[in-house]
Structure 1
Amino acid sequence: MAAVQVFLLDGETYELNIDRKAKGEELFNKVCEHLNLVERDYFGLIYEEKGDPRNWLELDKRVSKFFKAEPWKLSFEVKFYPPDPTQLQEDITRYQLCLQVRNDILSEKLACSFATHAMLGSYLVQSELGDFNSDEYTDPSYLKDFRFSPNQTPELEAKVMELHKIHKGQTPSEAELHYLENAKKLAMYGVDLHPAKDSEGVNITIGVCSTGLLVYNDKLRINRFAWPKILKIAYKRNYFYVKIRPGEYEQYEQTIGFKLPSHRAAKKLWRVSVEHHTFFRLTSPDATVKPGILSSNFRYSRRTQYQTKQIPIDREQPSFERTLSSRKIPVTRSLDLSRRSIKNSNFRGLPNESDEEKENREHPTDRETKSPDKSSLSDKKSKSKAGRLKMEGRAKTATRPKMEGRAKTVKRPKMEERAKMATRKIRRKEAEVSSPHSNAIERRSSISSTSSDDSGTPIDDDRGTYYTTGAISYQALAEAIQEATAMNPDMQVEKIEIQQESLP
């Protein structure tokens, strides 16, 4: 026999002994029997392992597989948050869900405003203490043992007392139902978070919930993939893939990949996604197994939400003691695990990121910056025998426009280096553009920030033309480039085109 400790949602610890060969299903059923729960499919057991404090116990495997030493410590928690708590059949099930939401709020997993904290807290007080008694509750001190917020203040307690007065007549079950009806509207209600990186290396967080997959960046939701829009989810190594149906104006499917910290993390996210999709979207588990290159043969085998709602419960509503106030318990182990899980993800993505990775993430296009020594030199032959030499440049500022949400600094060589590079490029083409009619050729060079009129006098303009007649002088062109860059230090020559054209 093995000793087991299960930390419950109300802060109590349930201790029992089970066979070392027992599977998770047997342990889970004993915990549910201890809590007198019938609607068990919304719940699960969490165990802690090195590097990851939150792992769902696989009920079809032996419990001993996941532990090395006794006692085996687990936490009983809600695994699937019902989007509509009114569909739960028993009050005791809703009470356990209230405890889970309260713990999520206290562990800061579920963020709330001051008004929401006060409203939810007033329903907890109504559920446990009943109607407000003006003779007994003369000041907010009667709420000192209640915990409504991770940062509880006297102002919050005074607001809870004010709202408690207006709940007169509500039974404990009604107050808990109102509590859940308000809690389900919170943005992070029922969202299971997993740190990851997108294709550009930016730290994100992927959330799994009853409606689909959510993507967060710095606590802001930036994308949502609803279950009906998802064709397939898969993982390979430490990458997690989502295949999306084509939109109304799209022709092809789209596959989006996310990088997880490890292969184990990618598989964990994939399993949680499969379980949520099966539980909330299917009428019965998919019994077919179709293993592939990017997938596993794992399938969710427990009852779905649809099946759970169809099972009638033939018993009277069980009576139980409510401890929503947390007056009997300190911070529970489940709260501590939740805090550690949120601290590890913290919406910032992967830990232990090196300075080089941060630099690459901040400036992903640095390697793509072009310098003059990589300028393309193309030779376009015309049908005429004489020619015209044309060189085009483009003025650039030291800072590019905003690219993909991040500013980009352009690295420029010195002015003298640019002139020498351009001169070498031009000389390479000297043999190719030579012509027997060179004395009757007009050479024209178009360069940014420098221009000239027909007499050859330079004029100030954003873009102009410099030209000479007679023999081709590549040194003159190099000097023109140097003069233009001297007038506009931010200019960078990107492209040179050489064309030949006969004079009229």
Structure 2
Amino acid sequence: MQDSTSDSKMAKQEQNSKHLDEHRETEDMSEKTSPNKTLKSPQKSSKRLKTNPFKVALLDSTEYEGEIERNSKGQTLMDVVCEHLNLLEKDYFGLTFADTDSQKNWLDPSKEIKKQMRNSLWQFVFAVKFYPPDPSQLTEDITRYYLCLQLRDDILSGRLPCSFVTHALLGSYTIQAELGDYDQDDHGSDYVSDFRFAPNQTRELEERVMELHRSYKGMTPAEAEINFLENAKKLSMYGVDLHHAKDSEGIEIMLGVCANGLLIYRDRLRINRFAWPKILKISYKRSNFYIKIRPGEYEQFESTIGFKLSNHRAAKKLWKVCIEHHTFFRLVSPEPPPKGFLVMGSKFRYSGRTQAQTRQASALIDRPAPRFERSTSKRYLLSRSLDGGLSEDIKDHLATQEYPGSLQALEDLATQVDLRLMERERQREIRPTRTTRSWAPILHSPDPIKPFIVEVDASSTGAGAILSQRSSDGKVHLCAFFSKSLSAAERNYDVGECELLAVKLALEEWRHWLEGAKEPFTTWNQESDALSRLEEDEPSHTPMEKDFILPEKVRLAMTRLE
């Protein structure tokens, strides 16, 4: 009996020990799977992505705001903006931002945004980066529309200078694109005074714009924009990106980068041009910018021309702009960046699509023409009465509202606008013949039987001349004109010698008309003392005057221009 009882006690003890072991195992498993311990689920271990707000000023004067991942590259933001604009031909456009020195910089699409922005605010401007030489090759109307908006802004800001005739023509196409055909009942007699299409807009210009606009019948907005672009692309500063620099002599110049090459400007005149095929190499070192030129037909060696920029960053910026324009317009595909650790120079290469690739991609666009609303162009947005003051409805509205100071502030603004309108009227009165002179036939074919008139003038930097004739109606008509910048040696001439140089250049320019003419031609100049001695057979000519001796077949009658 004792053995049986002891056996039963031992069996119970073994069962209790098993239960304890199982309970401990379950507790251990519960501790391992408990969410309050160190081990966490994969969902809770992932970090939330950091975003950064951005603001983009668009070409229609609106702003697009949003948020983007902080580690995003420039191309990601560009894609977001173009998707918002419903723009597929986006390679011609880009985003600009202002650095700490308030200088405009293009956002590099291949780099992270946070590495390019030195300030905390992500503010950008959507703009045209590569101006297409032939806008008619753009596939969609919406692309041409945004290009028109950019060109209108370039004209208003003065970056794209225009003549009176071109201002009127482009302004008329702008009015046609926004208002459609002219309607006397809807538009009235003076309907363009609120529009802004020129930096110094005058009443004469507005009248010419209305005259041209009334002649357009049945022209759609898309056709008006095509005509706008066809005339704008012919302007000399179309698509030129200007950079301040100095030449080897320390003279202030401007370097312009465009689709065709590198342009040199001095005193707003183009003095040289280097096409892309003529340039062998572009480089920079510190604040100096260099171009290596291919030897000419009668040259044996290559030549290098250097320019001085304000600082190292300005030189690098110009170099990058040149690389991007050359790659986009001249190459079929972009060059890959150099690889390896022992690479001399910068690794920067243009990473986007070239114009050739863009045209191929545009040819594959297969979607209905996108419908978009054309925004109103920049205007003088101030409701005015006929006498130039605030309209009575605005006055009544402000008087019934609790807007302290609003009425007085707007009255002051109206006074400022009145002064601007008075100035425009003054310009109209002192220049009554501007429209007539601008729109009359400009150049007449020279008649070898009639006498010529050569008007010359010169300054310390340049010389110019005009060739004209008096017709049977008694009016003097322009036949030809030219101008030339003086070289460094020629700038050392005194006033009389500069006038002689202008006469010499005019004779060389129009020798085929003036030499052997039946009637003597008349020269108009301001320094005729030295010029009058040219016909005298005296040995007292200065070395400069001896170079300007007139040919025997050239006969002239000199007139001093007082």
What's the TM-score once normalised by structure 2's chain length?
0.58
The change in CA–CA distance for 1:293 and 1:12 in structure 2 (over 3 A counts) is same
Tell whether 2:242 aligns with 1:193.
yes
Identity over the aligned pairs, expressed in percent?
A: 59
Q: Which residue of 2 aligns with 1:115?
A: 165
Q: Which residue of 2 aligns with 1:172?
A: 221
Q: Which residue of 1 aligns with 2:431?
A: none
Question: Which of these two proteins has the greater Rg computed from alpha carbons?
Answer: 2
The change in CA–CA distance for 1:88 and 1:105 in structure 2 (over 3 A counts) is same
The change in CA–CA distance for 1:329 and 1:320 in structure 2 (over 3 A counts) is farther
Structure 1 residue 69: Cα displacement: 4.5
Q: Which residue of 2 aligns with 1:79?
A: 129
Higher normalized contact order (CA 8 Å, seq sep 6+, divided by chain length):
1
1:256 counterpart (305, 324, 333): 305
Aligned partners of 1:3 and 1:70 also within 8 Å: no
Q: Which residue of 2 aligns with 1:16?
A: 66
Q: What's the CA shift string for 1:50-96, capped at 9, x where partnerless?
A: 22431001111111123355431110000000000001000000000
| 1:167 alignment partner, SS class | coil
Q: What's the CA shift string for 1:162-194, capped at 9, x where partnerless?
A: 000122111111100000010011111000000
Counterpart residue type for residue 243 of structure 1 = K
Counterpart residue type for residue 281 of structure 1 = R
The change in CA–CA distance for 1:150 and 1:265 in structure 2 (over 3 A counts) is same
Q: Which residue of 2 aligns with 1:297?
A: 347
Counterpart residue type for residue 489 of structure 2 = E
Tell whether 2:169 aligns with 1:156.
no
Counterpart residue type for residue 319 of structure 1 = R
| 1:40 alignment partner, SS class | coil
1:242 counterpart (263, 288, 291): 291
The change in CA–CA distance for 1:408 and 1:145 in structure 2 (over 3 A counts) is closer
Q: What's the CA shift string for 1:474-501, capped at 9, x where partnerless?
A: xxxxxxxxxxxxxxxxxxxxxxxxxxxx
The change in CA–CA distance for 1:179 and 1:79 in structure 2 (over 3 A counts) is same
The change in CA–CA distance for 1:41 and 1:6 in structure 2 (over 3 A counts) is same
- Provide the alpha-carbon RMSD of the alignment: 2.4
> Distance in 2 between the 1:74 and 1:328 partners?
25
> Distance in 2 between the 1:176 and 1:15 partners?
28
| 2:215 alignment partner, SS class | helix
> Distance in 2 between the 1:68 and 1:229 partners?
37
Q: Which residue of 2 aligns with 1:4?
A: 54
2:315 counterpart (266, 281, 284): 266
The change in CA–CA distance for 1:408 and 1:131 in structure 2 (over 3 A counts) is closer
2:491 counterpart (399, 402, 406): 406
Gaps of 5+ in 2: 1-50, 383-459, 461-485, 495-538, 541-562
| 2:186 alignment partner, SS class | coil
The change in CA–CA distance for 1:138 and 1:284 in structure 2 (over 3 A counts) is same
The change in CA–CA distance for 1:403 and 1:79 in structure 2 (over 3 A counts) is closer
The change in CA–CA distance for 1:77 and 1:104 in structure 2 (over 3 A counts) is same
Q: What's the CA shift string for 1:433-481, capped at 9, x where partnerless?
A: xxxxxxxxxxxxxxxxxxxxxxxxxxxx99xxxxxxxxxxxxxxxxxxx
Structure 1 residue 407: Cα displacement: 2.3
Aligned partners of 2:72 and 2:112 also within 8 Å: yes
Structure 1 residue 403: Cα displacement: 4.8
| 1:240 alignment partner, SS class | strand
Count of matched residue positions in the alignment of Structure 1 and Structure 2 = 341
1:50 counterpart (90, 100, 103): 100
Matches within 5 A, 1:39-438: 39-140=89-190, 142-287=191-336, 289=338, 295-311=345-361, 312-327=364-379, 403-407=488-492
Aligned partners of 1:235 and 1:295 also within 8 Å: no
Structure 1 residue 260: Cα displacement: 0.8
Aligned partners of 1:5 and 1:73 also within 8 Å: yes
Gaps of 5+ in 1: 331-361, 363-400, 410-460, 463-504
What's the TM-score once normalised by structure 1's chain length?
0.65
Aligned partners of 2:160 and 2:238 also within 8 Å: yes
Counterpart residue type for residue 323 of structure 1 = S
> Distance in 2 between the 1:154 and 1:328 partners?
14
The change in CA–CA distance for 1:403 and 1:54 in structure 2 (over 3 A counts) is closer
Aligned partners of 1:125 and 1:325 also within 8 Å: no
Aligned partners of 1:246 and 1:252 also within 8 Å: yes
> Distance in 1 between the 2:346 and 2:78 partners?
25
> Distance in 2 between the 1:155 and 1:279 partners?
41
| 2:103 alignment partner, SS class | strand
Q: Which residue of 1 aligns with 2:81?
A: 31
Aligned partners of 2:287 and 2:313 also within 8 Å: yes
Structure 1 residue 264: Cα displacement: 0.5
Counterpart residue type for residue 157 of structure 1 = E
